[in-house]
Amino acid sequence: MHTSIPRGCVSVAEPEFRSSITTLAAAPLGAPALTDESSLTKVSVRAQVGASPLGVDFTRATRRDGVLIVGIRPDEWLLLGNANEVETLLATTEFDASVSRIDITHSRLCLRLTGVRSASALEKVCSLDFDDMMFPDGATGSASVAKVSSDLIRDDVNDEPSYLLLADRSFGQYLYDAIHDATAEFANISS
């Protein structure tokens, strides 16, 4: 599936990809920044438990050719990136016949929370331990975030803590608002 303009068959207005987060709020000064990255291409690669079709272990995330490869479940790997890079990676990787792939771009929302206090903000909505040793850069885990099952990936940006959060598309606005509210406490606090 695509989020860019697909080929046209019937002459109609150009379809436009729409995120499920429709209303963005301004980040309070100094608070962790919350951005919508839902339009990234997301492909789920499935194999047997214990297999390693992409060379990435469960709970680990690594970037390869611009694509973030995430061991999201013992039998599932998530590819996250822009459409061309994901397609290239898939085309150049050899998969066993038992591996299946499915584009879940439209099923999952994707938020990014960045800032020195982003772990503290997440602690207000999620029971995971975000300590640097327990959830280091390049780690991933799934848990309830504000009561919505979510996948969290630590993906630091320029040495600043940053988390990607994926969840079911239909919760978009609710989840955005809940996390945005959790960040408010950390406005104007530098560390």
Partner 1 sequence: MLLVPCPHCGPRNSADMSYQGEASSRPDPSSTTPSQWRDYLYMEHNPAGWLKENWYCSSGCRRFFTVERHTVTSEFREPPLPGSKTALPLSKTTETGADTDQQGGES
Partner 2 sequence: MIRRLEPQSGEVIDRETPLKFTWNSKKYIGFAGDTIVSALLANNEQVFSRSMKYHRPRGVLTADYWDPNTTVQVDTEPNVRGAHRLLEADMKVSAQNAWPSLDFDIKAANGLFGRFLTAGFYYKTFIKPQRLWPLYEKVLARFAPGGVVDLNTPHGYHDKRYSHPDVVVAGGGPAGLAAAISAAQAGMNVMLVEQNHHLGGHLLWGTDEDRATARELEAAARVAGVEILTDSAVTGRYDDNWIAISQRNHPGVVERLIKARAKTLVVAAGLVERPYVFSGNDLPGVMLSGAVRRLINMYGVRPGNRAVVLTANAEGDAATTDLERAGVNVVQVVDARAGETISKATGSSKHLSSVTLIDGSTVKADLLVTAAGWTAPTSLLNMSGDRPSYDPTAARFFPTALPDNVIATGGLVGDGSLDELIAHGLDSGKLAAQRAAVVKHRLQSTVSRAQRPEEPEPPMPEDRRVGLPRAPHPELYRSDTHGMVDFSEDVGSKDLVSAAAEGFDSVELVKRFTTATMGPSQGKLETVNTVAVLAEARGETIEEVGTTVWRPPYASISLGALAGRVFEPVRVSSLHEWHTDHNMTPILAGQWIRPEHYGDPGAEVTNVRTNVGIIDVTPLGKLDLRGPDVSKLLNLLYTNKWSKLAIGRVRYGMMCAEDGVVLDDGVTGRLGEDHYLMTTTSSGAGQIWQWVEMWLQTEHPDWQVHVTPVTTGFTSINIAGPKSRELLKRLVDDVDLSPEAFEYMNVRTGTIAGVPDCFMWRIGFTGELSFEVHVPAGFGLHVWEQLLEKGADLGVGPFGLEAQRIMRLEKGHFIVGQDTDGLTKAPTTGLAPLIKLDKDDFAGKPELEWALAADAPELPVLVAIAPTDPRLVPDEACQILREGTTEIVGRITSSRFSPSLQRSICLGQVTPEFAAAGTILTVRLCDGSDTTARVMEHHAHFDPEGVRLRG
Contact 102, 46 (CB under 8 A): yes
Q: Which member of 74, 98, 160, 189 binds partner 1 (CB under 8 A)?
A: 74
Nearer to partner 1, 32 or 71 (CB): 71
Selection from partner 1, partner 2, none that 84 binds (CB < 5 to 8 A by kind) is none
Nearer to partner 2, 66 or 136 (CB): 136
Site string for partner 2, 125-144 (x = CB under 8 A): xxxxxxxxxxxx--xxx---
Residue 112 three-state SS: strand
Site string for partner 2, 92-121 (x = CB under 8 A): ------x-x-x-xxxxx-------------
Quote the least distance from Cβ 71 to partner 2, whole Å.
Answer: 9
Q: Looking only at residues 108 through 127 of this chain, which bind partner 1 when binding is defined by CB under 8 A?
A: 127
CB atoms inside a 10 Å sphere around CB 109: 25
Binding site for partner 1 (CB under 8 A): 49, 58-59, 73-74, 127, 141-144, 147-149, 167-168, 171
